[in-house]
């Protein structure tokens, strides 16, 4: 616990850590379909996969454009100097007495397109593979959330069962203690019931811990924990 609270263990060496309260089971309604929607919209790995797929889409479009003729325009403008001395030529350039300009169109027509076609096919194949991987990842996310929902529901039921068992063990112990005080029972039965109560409490605490871990895992599966 001290290692989780600070990276300087010396500061916490003489500090006694006490729990602020008892471990409880907060009832959390889990809706499978709503969790599926959150998972598909919030999971970081899905967001990254969709971003990669979008990037590959741009690459495919660019590679496809390379298969067609291209038409571009160019132009230039400047000033020149023609004096025999550098100072005179520089003065002409600075004054702008000899301007020049040029413009035109440039058209490129691919002949064989072997390399372009190969690049286009490769990028298209990579994008299709990325689409399949995204669909598989979405299915995996849905399955993970479905399993997490089942674990949460099962552990919450177990919390209730272990609580009842602990309450019954507590009542049984109180009854036997009353009997012993009235001379109708021996300490053997009381000690046995105390042992049963301790075991029931341990099971309840274990169930509470597992339920809270299940909630944390559920939130991680649907992407609501960052």
3-state SS string for the chain:
CHHHHCCCHHHHCCCCCCCCCCCCCCCCCCCHHHHHHHHHHHCHHHHHHHHHHHHHHHHHHHHHHCCCCEEEEEEEEEECCCCCCHHHHHHHHHHCCCEEEEEEEEEECCCCCHHHHHHHHHHHHHHHHHHHHHHHHHHHHHHHHHHHHHHHHHHHHHHHHHHHHHHHHHHHHHHHHHHHHCCCCCHHHHHHHHHHHHHHHHHHHHHHHHHHHHHHHHHHHHCCCC
Q: What is the pLDDT of residue 16?
A: 79
pLDDT-wise least confident of 18-27, 30-39, 51-60, 127-136? 18-27
Q: What is the pLDDT of residue 88?
A: 65
Distance CA 29, CA 81 (A): 82
Distance CA 148, CA 52 (A): 27
Q: What is the pLDDT of residue 101?
A: 81
Q: Is residue 37 pLDDT above 70, yes or no?
A: yes
Chain region(s) in the chain for CATH 1.20.1600.10: 26-68+113-226
Dihedral Cα 204, 209, 215, 220, nearest 10 deg: -160
Does residue 74 contact residue 66 with C-beta atoms inside 8 Å? Answer: no
> Which comes out higher in pLDDT, residue 87 or 104?
104
Q: Which of the following CATH numbers is that of domain 26-68+113-226: 3.90.550.10, 3.40.250.10, 1.20.1740.10, 1.20.1600.10?
A: 1.20.1600.10
Q: Is residue 226 pLDDT above 60, yes or no?
A: no
Q: Is residue 28 pLDDT above 90, yes or no?
A: no
| pLDDT band at residue 90 using 50, 70 and 90 as cut-offs | low
> Which comes out higher in pLDDT, residue 155 or 86?
155
pTM over 0.85: no
Q: What is the mean pLDDT of residues 102-113?
A: 80
Distance CA 6, CA 2 (A): 6
């Amino acid at each position: 616990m001290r290692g989780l609270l600070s990276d300087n263990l010396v500061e916490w060496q003489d500090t006694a850590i006490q729990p602020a309260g008892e471990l409880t089971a907060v009832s959390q309604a889990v809706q499978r379909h709503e969790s599926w929607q959150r998972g598909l919209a919030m999971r970081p790995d899905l967001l990254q996969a969709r971003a990669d797929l979008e990037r590959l889409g741009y690459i495919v479009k660019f590679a496809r454009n390379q298969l067609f003729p291209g038409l571009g325009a160019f132009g230039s403008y400047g000033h020149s100097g023609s004096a025999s001395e550098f100072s005179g030529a520089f003065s002409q350039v600075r004054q702008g007495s000899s301007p020049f300009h040029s413009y035109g169109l440039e058209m490129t027509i691919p002949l064989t397109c072997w390399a372009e076609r190969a690049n286009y096919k490769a990028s298209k194949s990579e994008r299709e593979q990325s689409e399949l991987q995204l669909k598989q990842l979405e299915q995996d996310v849905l399955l993970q959330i479905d399993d997490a929902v089942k674990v949460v529901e099962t552990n919450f039921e177990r919390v209730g069962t272990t609580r009842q068992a602990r309450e019954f063990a507590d009542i049984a112990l109180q009854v036997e203690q009353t009997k012993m005080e009235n001379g109708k029972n021996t300490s053997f039965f009381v000690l046995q019931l105390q042992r049963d109560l301790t075991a029931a409490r341990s099971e309840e605490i274990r169930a509470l811990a597992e339920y809270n871990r299940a909630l944390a895992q559920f939130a991680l599966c649907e992407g609501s924990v960052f």
